[in-house]
Amino acid sequence: TKVGDNLGRMVSTIQLALSRSDAVIVCGGLGPTQDDITREAIAQVMGVSLIRHDDIGEHIRRLFESRGREFTQNNLRQADVPEGATTIAEMPGTAPGLVCPVEDKVIYAVPGVPYEMREMVLGTVIPDL
């Protein structure tokens, strides 16, 4: 299902998907811009807050430095993780993937960048399922 950058629609769509399945995979919307709202939508579905993970923020900062790119504060949004969620260990880019438990079900969130998504799906999501 394709859902645009609309928080209410994203929350409703994820809730509907969870009502029909044990696992939901969300792709995209984990970047640093204001329209990257997947983290917020998942946090609402889980009924929790977003927690800033300083270790992830530092990892992102180091990635920028190693690539000779300017680091701006908005990139720290990618270090916000729904409380109770874990991050996916494979992190080839700046956006961590997420494993988000919802009762006896799970939401996986992976970046929309194809090579990042592929690495996380093959390394964590598929083995988990």
User: 3-state DSSP: the chain helix, strand, coil percent, rounded to 5?
Assistant: 45, 20, 35
Amino acid at 85: A
pLDDT > 90: what percent of the chain?
A: 94
pLDDT digits (tens, 9 = 90+) for 36-69: 999 999 999 999 999 999 999 999 999 999 999 9
Rounded Cα gap, residues 10 and 35, in angstroms: 12
In CATH, which of 3.40.980.10, 3.20.20.140, 2.80.10.50, 2.130.10.30 is domain 7-128? Answer: 3.40.980.10
Residue 82 tokens read as: 């729904």
Given a cut of 90, is residue 124 above it in pLDDT?
A: yes
Residue 105 tokens read as: 């079900």
Positive or negative torsion for Cα 5, 112, 120, 88? negative
Given a cut of 90, is residue 91 above it in pLDDT?
A: no
pLDDT digits (tens, 9 = 90+) for 4-22: 899 999 999 999 999 999 9
pLDDT at 9: 97
Structural domain boundaries in the chain: 7-128
Rounded Cα gap, residues 117 and 96, in angstroms: 10
What DSSP letter does each residue of 39-89 carry, written as one string? HHHHHHHHT--EEE-HHHHHHHHHHHHHTT----GGGGGGGEEETT-EE-S
